[in-house]
Amino acid sequence: MTKDANLEKITALAKRRGFIFPSSEIYGGLANVYDFGPLGAELKNNIKQLWWDRFVHKRDDIVGLDSSIFMNSKVWEASGHVSSFTDPLIECKHCHSRFRTDALPHENLKQCPHCGEKEGFSEPKQFNLMFKTHIGATEEESNDVYLRPETAQAIFINFKNILDTTRKAIPFGVAQMGKAFRNEITTGYFIFRMLEFEQMEIEYFIHEKDWERFFDHWKEEIITWAIEVGISKDNLRFREHDEKERSHYSKRTVDLEYNFMGDFKEIYGLAYRGNYDLAKHKLMYVDQQSNEQFIPHVIEPSFGVERTILPILLDAYHEEEKRIVLKLKPRIAPYKTAVFPLVQNKEEIVTKAQSVHQNLVALGIYSAWDARGNIGKRYLSQDEIGTPYCITIDYDTLKDNTVTVRDRDTTQQERIKIDQLQEYLMPKII
């Protein structure tokens, strides 16, 4: 099966089962904007919590930040975004739709893909990618603000505050998760490229002499994370930016790319930003031991949340003879277990099943309750949303206090004592 075919099936499954919905759908939708449904919200939060646990809680050298979306516009002037955060676009002379030249096949440059007219296109022009809005009741120029196009600048402008309150010494990092917004021409492909997206970023502050060592460290950390969260190593590769592609302040940039839609495309980035950003914001570091003052250099690993979710779904999706199954890593699956009463017309079985379900939830094992239809259809339904384990309460449960635990991937079943469920499940789902 081609990845394009898989993408269509993932898109359909995501909507059908409550992972991802087109935004504003009842009013015709809004291109390249999506909402995460009940299961999608759980998947997304599980990925973010796992990332935060790995890169903040389990490391003594990284602290967290949660900054505002709006910042003083002087931030974006100092960083260079106001003057140079642009894309070259061409515009249809008939319908005025805009397109990135690199996103159009060469043969389409003679005909607008939106309206079909052949009046031609304008010469490429640079368009700023930031969304601009206004604070206050009047639209005065002094009230201009921007929706942030990246989360990194908030880390840089809080550099002194973080140093003063944490007493961290170089090398150390600051991690942040949050929404970013770019008014760019999107090219579809479901949630791969969106106007509103979420980033998980780290700015890691170092001595200049150590940049190569830490660059290699974070390169390994990026791909290790991708594999651990459920992206196939076979579909990943690093691509080095050449000198023309790199930002002017970067000595080295690599992308971690995923092979989907028949091509390799960036999901994560790693950049050595030098000391450009802190210098622009006039921020210094004072070494507490030597009293030396200098502007630290920065290694930036950047992870896209939605660009994590899409490869995960593609690699987890399997069509087998009698079922569709999402083989999600248990740690990120929306539900860890599903609890079924074998039958609905025997009160003791239903009551016992409800008790097992409630106890699992109380233990922090997020569990689905399903008493609809026959047991086979319930299994298939949970397979399709990636639930790792299904627990069935039946007539034998009333005799010996055991339940049937079914493994999603193998479909094998085991009888487990109810009081041993926590011990059985926890090593498998954490």
Per DSSP bridges, beta strands 337-341 and 367-369 are parallel
Q: Is 122 annotated as contributing to ligand binding?
A: no
Q: Is 71 annotated as contributing to ligand binding?
A: no
Q: Is 252 annotated as contributing to ligand binding?
A: no
Q: Is 197 annotated as contributing to ligand binding?
A: yes
CB 391 within 8 A of CB 404: yes
Q: Is 131 annotated as contributing to ligand binding?
A: no
Q: Is 183 annotated as contributing to ligand binding?
A: yes
Q: Is 303 annotated as contributing to ligand binding?
A: yes
Runs of H (alpha helix) within 122-178: 152-157, 159-166
Furthest C-alpha separation in the chain: 79
Written as six digits, the tokens of 219 are 């390169």
Q: Is 257 annotated as contributing to ligand binding?
A: no
Q: Is 136 annotated as contributing to ligand binding?
A: no
Q: Is 150 annotated as contributing to ligand binding?
A: yes
- Phi/psi for 269 (5° steps) reads -130, 155
Q: Is 195 annotated as contributing to ligand binding?
A: yes
3-state secondary structure of 291: coil
Q: Is 414 annotated as contributing to ligand binding?
A: no
Q: Is 266 annotated as contributing to ligand binding?
A: yes
Q: Is 300 annotated as contributing to ligand binding?
A: yes
Identity at 288, one-letter amino acid code? Q
Q: Is 304 annotated as contributing to ligand binding?
A: yes
> From CA 430, how far away is CA 197, in angstroms rounded?
27
Q: Is 198 annotated as contributing to ligand binding?
A: yes
What is the CB-side half-sphere exposure of residue 424 using CA atoms within 13 A? Answer: 20
For residue 411, count other CB atoms closer than 10 A to its CB: 14
Q: Is 192 annotated as contributing to ligand binding?
A: yes
For residue 155, count other CB atoms closer than 10 A to its CB: 23
- Phi/psi for 181 (5° steps) reads -140, 130
> From CA 100, how far away is CA 284, in angstroms rounded?
39
Q: Is 79 annotated as contributing to ligand binding?
A: no
Q: Is 267 annotated as contributing to ligand binding?
A: yes
Ordered DSSP codes for 85-126: -EEEEEEBTTT--EEEGGGS-GGGGGS-TTT---S-BPPPEE
- 55-58: long-range pairs with CB below 8 Å, 24+: 55/175, 55/200, 55/202, 55/221, 55/225, 56/175
> From CA 337, how far away is CA 17, in angstroms rounded?
17
Exposure string of 320-357, with b = 16+ CB inside 10 Å and e = fewer, is: eeeeebbbbbbbbbbbbbbbbbbeeeeeebbebbeebb
Per DSSP bridges, beta strands 337-341 and 389-393 are parallel
For residue 104, count other CB atoms closer than 10 A to its CB: 17
- Residues in binding site for substrate: 100, 150, 197-201, 300-304
- Residues in binding site for ATP: 182-184, 192-197, 266-267, 304-307
- Residues in binding site: 100, 150, 182-184, 192-201, 266-267, 300-307
